[in-house]
Amino acid sequence: MTVTRRGFIGGALGAAAAAATADAGTVKHFEGYPGRYGLLHDTTLCVGCRSCEAACKEVNGLPPVTEPLDDPTVFDSIRRSTDTSLTVVNRYVEGGDDHGAVYRKLQCMHCNEPCCATVCPCHAFEKTPEGPVLYHAELCMGCRYCVMACPYYALAYEYDNPLTPKVMRCTMCYDRIKEGKLPGCAEACPMGAITFGRREDLIRVARERIRKFPDRYIDHIFGEHEFGGTSWLVLSGVPFRELGLDEGLTTEPLPAIATSYLGVVPLVITIYPGLLLGMYAFSKRHEAVAAAEREEAVTKALAEADEATQQKLAAAADRAAKDKQRAIDAAVKKALADAEKGGES
Amino acid sequence: MHTLFDFLTHTKGIAYVVAGLLLVSYIPFWRFLTERERRH
Amino acid sequence: MTRHTILFSVLALLMVAGAPTSEVAADEPAAATDGPSLVTVSWPASAGEQQRPAVEFDHARHTAALQAEGCTTCHLLDDAGLHPGLAAVSAIDDRGALVEAYHDACIGCHQRRRDEGKQSSGPLTCGACHVRNPAPIPARVPLTFDLSLHARHAQAYPDNCGACHHVWDEATEKLVYRENTEEACRACHGTVAVKATPSLRDAVHQECVACHLERAGTGAKAGPVACEGCHDPAVVAAIEQLAEVPRLKRGQPDVGWVKAPGAVLPLVVFDHVRHERIAASCSTCHHRRLQACADCHGLRPAPDGGGVNLEEAHHDRSSPLSCDGCHQRTAELGDCAGCHRDTTVAEARDIGCTVCHDGPRPPAEGSALAAAKPRPPVELAPLPEPSDDLPETVTIDVLADQYQASTIPHLKIVRRFDDGIRRNVLASRFHVSTGAMCAGCHHHSPVGERPPRCAACHGDAAAPTSDAPSLKVAYHRQCLTCHQRLGIKAGCTDCHAAKEGTS
Amino acid sequence: MSEVAMDATPPEAPGKGGIFTPFNIITTVILLGGAAILGLRFTHGLAATTNLSHTYPWGLWIGFDVMSGVALAAGGFVTSSAVYLFGMKEYKPIVRPALLTGFLGYFLVVLGLLADLGRPWRLPFPFIKSAGPTSPLFEVALCVALYLTVLFIESTPPVFEWLGLKWWRKLVGSMTIALTILGLILSTMHQSTLGAMYMVAPTRLHPLWYSSHIPVHFFVSAVAAGLAMVIVEGMISHRAFHHQVEISAERFESINFGLAKAAAVTLAVYLAIKCVGLAIEDEWHLLGTGWGAWFLVELLGFVLLPCLLFAVGYRERRLTLVRVAAVITVIGIMLNRFNITFVAYNWNRATTEIYVPSWMEIWVTVAFITFAVVAFRWIANRMPVMYEHPDWKGVH
């Protein structure tokens, strides 16, 4: 199922409203900041020693690792990043006699087009030119829409903090990068399963590794295009779906999908008043016409009524005249008769 | 279905058929609804 | 409630009730692969589409049940051997008649056994045989007729190769035996029957199962008759392997020059005898016919060579049939995997061609070529005495931070690999010098001299453009990948003790 | 000085004297409990009072109060636009109760938001401190805030009539048309943008519920829910304030049948666009799965069924059938919003992380509803909501 922004038809209120084809997204194409940093995670080299977890906690001043590093039972369940451990390593494939176990490190992927930044109503996220996506707790009102939107489940929230809850996520050690140092996890990884460098260099290195060891890697760099591409790139020997990373539904950046409907909003604001006033005028005129018709019908009825009454009056008058006439004739006849009788007697 | 084009032609085709059917089926629904009024 | 309303509400209820239970039959693939004793009853494509899924025929239960009646109840056994198909349907291809024939044969027999009151009989209803989604079928192994099994058969029929091998004589249109023309069955019998030549499956069953049946009849020691005998992985693994496999003489040279008409490089000696001992069967290399590679694969890719030219036939590392490919596979076994598996160590380019091409140049037309002799075994120089060039142990403390310094039993490792290489003819020949193995860990540096320290190339941070890892990663990646391939323990504290304070 | 005409005060409801009626006791208990829980929420954080987790950041308070509350409060703009814009004068008597329900409904939405927000005192931040215009939630917040004020102004006429402030009453009267149009614009936008909020998570919301047309689905279902809510609210308030109702029972029934007809049509349209949605995303095969069955329960059980009940109820003029359909529609809209917010959301995650609302969340939600009911009752008992104030009969 590909979610296509162009396929979206933004419909407004019922039949009468203007259904505008919302192509909110512009037709422009963005390559992102040139020379931005990224990290390459080669899951065929990761041996699950979790030194990155310990280093991340230490660098960020978080409570130390609860499960000891050499305790393998931690891999029995698939964990997720939380507000106290911004990155976790999971074992996705059990080690067998002919193949080693496959581990993967989870953390914020620092997308090229971050949907967490797009959906934040307070603009508390920022995609920095250096690459990391940063979060500003001083602007956040704690609506947690970012935690809900992230397709990689990478954001966590301080639910137990009543007054100053913050969204907790990997910041790619932004301050260390600015000082020219490596992010904590990249520096700690003994196997070089996490390499830090400029994103385009890392893509070239990843392609080179795939070319050199064709049967060690799946010929796909996860994160090159998924949802518009991410800063964290993942190489794997097993299908990505087994690592909890499905190849992504679409290469369309999520922000484009999320805001595709908002294109309709200005249209609704502009079209509705005219439309509704038209409706109002129409219903008003409709009423006026109805009233006028009623008026006319009434007058007509009255006119007919007058006419009818005129006719009745006229008829009554004729009748009265005829009666009178008859009465006069009768009286005259009677008078004549009297006169003849008078003459005879 | 390997191209967006195939997918869209397939789904849009069915969508028009379904929408058409729904539109047509709206007439008996409306007649059923307003039969009592028309009887007065 | 007028007629309209009743109709409308009935329709609605139907939709509400009907919808969730609408059975969306997901159409899985018909039958899974055949199990060792499960045979999918064949249905020729010419007879059209099957309305019901194919029947999974449990051959083992039937052979057990019909022990007394023997195989001829279903199969046709004649001088040509045992015909694998159901005799009753062999000549029919008309759809209706075929269905009729199958049903008469199977249901008829089940009905007869039921009437005769036999304790076990087969199902009679359609669904019982035509199972919609059959249970998963256990794995099935194609039998590999290796040299040891061939030798056991040869001992049973000493110098009577004609018992199995035959050639189709065009003139007399009969199968005759001709000396030195024995081939693997696969040479002539393809996956599908071609005119008179039955398919490999039918040919093998006709020859082998019939012969085993005959010998079993006479009480002699005979091979398996039921399907599991050759196709059940456990049974196949248990087939007796001869300790000493006598050499299978079929007119092949002991040692010879690799024929490459038109090539100019120095010739390569091929020690056929030594390779026979390593290969599972002749077909490992002679994957089509028992001929030289050059007969099909010319210098230019030709259709009968499958579009593969001679160079690829010998050097393509990805194919198990080529020399290089086979050498590479053997180099990924045992201790050798440390350097050779899944790495770019010992690429063909680095070894150099002269290791194999060490013979004379191909002589001019017509002049004689000296007979090929097997190469003298390679005597690698003995390991030098431990010194600061070859230290006993190496302590790496350059990066000691969370863990204490790590001491590597350098000599122990070197000795383990070294005597492994000395014992292996392939390894010692291709390593050419004792120092070659050092390139396994001290990569990208000249062989033999004292290699530079790791820190010389690997800095604090990885060089992102050239993908050269940092020093810490270089140490770990080089040691840990080798340990993992060799199954040696690789925990953090196995190599370096934890710093006192830390956990 | 405007004196209050004697017969302006509504006749006293028979037998409702005294403070300690069972209704008052229950409501105070609920409200106090709710307040206590909110106190706990703001001293120990959301973890102590809710089952929210990093995988389910939005729970009942967003699922019910915001998502369903907004849809159920759509009765306000539907009836007011019908009466004032489309000239359906016969529905005039129910406009005021519908507007009051709408206003209290939106008040409940804001209360739910305040309880659920991490730092509710920063609610005005998007408008005053730093706005995130790319976010659907920004648009929703803006429209909800504006529409709350519009609703507030639209429900002031009964108050001014009650207080006898004639000048103010005339002023608001003159703005009715503008307010109704503004209300309709704002409602259309945020009802649909509430749906657009879920377009950002195509992988997290189940494909059957996810569609590129979610905004339209949300809007049309909100109109249907609004109509149903007006019928349900009419049913309750007609019985509760029987003594105040002026219009004849026969007229009240014809209004209900009018609403039923509109609701039947809206539900039919909603069913149609949902089917089209299935076609466009080519999801017929998903109907065979477990989720497909649940989707069909929602679609056929709570959209098709009430649509048919409304149709039959309207045709045979059976008021009980109409009311049953209205209740099913209200429950249906809640089910749909719950499905989208936390049931079919994260559908492919491990089932060990399913979100179930904690009793405290449910209690607080019930407390908000009780608060709305109490407010409605307080206002309706005093102000001319159910009937027309004698001085203002027939005035706009």
Position D63 scores a pLDDT of 93
Residues of B with CB below 8 A from A7's CB?
A: 8
Contact A59, A173 (CB under 8 A): yes
CA-to-CA separations, A204 to A24, A193, C405, D182, D288, in angstroms, rounded: 34, 16, 35, 55, 44
Query: Once rounded to an integer, what is the mean pLDDT over residues A84-95?
Result: 93
Amino acid at C418: D
CATH code, domain carrying D122: 1.20.1630.10
Contact A91, A43 (CB under 8 A): no
Residues of B with CB below 8 A from A2's CB?
A: 4, 7
**pLDDT band at A305; cut points 50, 70, 90:** confident
Residues of B with CB below 8 A from C4's CB?
A: 32, 35
Give the B-side interface with A, CB within 8 Å: 4, 7-8
Task: Please state which architecture CATH assigns to domain C147-237.
Answer: Alpha-Beta Complex (3.90)
CB nearest to D139's CB, from A4, A143, A265: A265
Touching check for C342 and chain A: CB below 8 Å?
A: yes
Q: Which of C79-83, D37-41, D387-391 has the lowest mean pLDDT?
A: C79-83
CB nearest to A141's CB, from D118, D139, D283: D118
Position C21 scores a pLDDT of 37
Task: Please state which architecture CATH assigns to domain A37-258.
Answer: 2-Layer Sandwich (3.30)
CB nearest to A216's CB, from C342, C461, C473: C342
Position B2 scores a pLDDT of 65
- In the CATH scheme, what is the code of domain C259-355? 3.90.10.10
Q: Is the pLDDT of residue D135 over 50?
A: yes
The more confidently predicted of residues C155 and A27 is: C155
Rounded Cα–Cα distance for residues C367 and C361 (Å):
12
The residue among A146, A264, A231 whose CA lies nearest residue D132 is A146
Cβ of C20 within 8 Å of Cβ of D296? The answer is: yes
Q: What is the pLDDT of residues D295-351, one digit of tens each?
A: 999 999 999 999 999 999 999 999 999 999 999 999 999 999 999 999 999 988 877
Interface of C with D in 19-78 (CB under 8 A): 19-20, 22-24, 26
Position D12 scores a pLDDT of 61
The residue among C324, C369, C364, C370 whose CA lies nearest residue C347 is C324
Cβ of C16 within 8 Å of Cβ of D300? The answer is: yes
Position C15 scores a pLDDT of 43
With a pLDDT cut of 70, the percent of chain D lying above it is 95
Structure tokens that stand for A206 in this block: 């990843």
Structure tokens that stand for D55 in this block: 């995988």
Touching check for D290 and chain C: CB below 8 Å?
A: no
Q: Chain A: residue nearest D135 by CA?
A: A119
Q: Is the pLDDT of residue A173 over 90?
A: yes
The residue among C329, C328, C330, C378 whose CA lies nearest residue C351 is C328
- The domain containing residue D276 runs over which residues? 24-381
Residue D324 domain-assigned?
Answer: yes
Q: Is the pLDDT of residue A63 over 90?
A: yes
Touching check for D301 and chain C: CB below 8 Å?
A: yes
Q: What is the pLDDT of residues C21-31, one digit of tens each?
A: 333 333 333 33
**pLDDT band at A257; cut points 50, 70, 90:** confident
The more confidently predicted of residues D248 and D328 is: D328
Q: Where in chain A is the domain with CATH 3.30.70.20?
A: 37-258
Structure tokens that stand for D368 in this block: 């908000």
Residue D396 domain-assigned?
Answer: no
Contact C430, C416 (CB under 8 A): no
Q: Which of A168-177, A191-200, C243-252, D163-172 has the lowest mean pLDDT?
A: C243-252
CA angle A140/A143/A149 to nearest 5° reads 105
Counting as low any pLDDT under 70, the low residues of chain C are 1-35, 80, 136-138, 344-350, 448, 464, 501-503
Q: Where in chain C is the domain with CATH 3.90.10.10?
A: 38-129, 147-237, 259-355, 394-495
Position A19 scores a pLDDT of 37
The residue among C210, C218, C256 whose CA lies nearest residue C82 is C210
Token look-up 């019901």 returns C52
Residue D19 domain-assigned?
Answer: no
- In the CATH scheme, what is the code of domain C394-495? 3.90.10.10
Distance from CA of A225 to the nearest CA of C (A): 21
CATH T-level assignment (fold) for domain C38-129: Cytochrome C3 (3.90.10)
Q: Chain B: residue nearest A3 by CA?
A: B4
DSSP character at residue C205: I
Written as one string, the DSSP assignment of B1-40 is --SHHHHHHHHHHHHHHHHHHHHHHHHHHHHHHHHHHHH-
Cβ of D280 within 8 Å of Cβ of B22? The answer is: no
Q: Look at the alpha carbons of D340, D345, D351, D353 in this order and tell me if their dihedral is positive or negative.
A: negative
Q: What is the mean pLDDT of chain A?
A: 85
Q: What is the pLDDT of residues B10-24, one digit of tens each?
A: 777 888 788 888 888
pTM for the full model?
Answer: 0.77
A125 phi and psi angles, rounded to 5 deg: -110, 155
Rounded to the nearest 10°, the torsion over CA C29, C31, C34, C35 is 110
Position D171 scores a pLDDT of 92
Position C501 scores a pLDDT of 64
Q: What is the pLDDT of residues A204-234, one digit of tens each?
A: 999 999 998 888 999 999 999 988 899 999 9
The residue among A83, A55, A79, A80 whose CA lies nearest residue A69 is A55
Query: Once rounded to an integer, what is the mean pLDDT over residues A53-60?
Result: 94
The residue among C288, C276, C327 whose CA lies nearest residue C146 is C276
Structure tokens that stand for A332 in this block: 């005259």
Q: Chain A: residue nearest B12 by CA?
A: A7
Contact D292, D328 (CB under 8 A): no
The more confidently predicted of residues B30 and D317 is: D317
The residue among C393, C402, C408, C323 whose CA lies nearest residue C357 is C323
Residue to substitute from D276, D283, D284, interface B, most B β-carbons within 10 A: D276
Rounded Cα–Cα distance for residues A27 and D55 (Å):
34
Touching check for C60 and chain A: CB below 8 Å?
A: no
Position A13 scores a pLDDT of 42
ipTM of the predicted structure?
A: 0.76
Q: Which of C229-238, D51-60, D174-183 has the lowest mean pLDDT?
A: C229-238
**pLDDT band at A16; cut points 50, 70, 90:** very low
Cβ of C8 within 8 Å of Cβ of B32? The answer is: yes
Cβ of D185 within 8 Å of Cβ of A269? The answer is: yes
Q: What is the mean pLDDT of chain D?
A: 90
Residues of A with CB below 8 A from B7's CB?
A: 2
For chain C, the chains sharing at least 3 beta-carbon pairs closer than 8 angstroms are: A, B, D
Rounded Cα–Cα distance for residues C185 and D378 (Å):
98
Touching check for C368 and chain D: CB below 8 Å?
A: no
Residues of C with CB below 8 A from A202's CB?
A: 464
Angle between helices D249-281 and B4-39 (to 10 degrees): 160
The residue among C52, C74, C59 whose CA lies nearest residue C125 is C52
Cβ of D132 within 8 Å of Cβ of A4? The answer is: no
Position D211 scores a pLDDT of 92
Rounded Cα–Cα distance for residues C83 and C75 (Å):
6
Touching check for D33 and chain C: CB below 8 Å?
A: no
The more confidently predicted of residues D37 and C461 is: D37
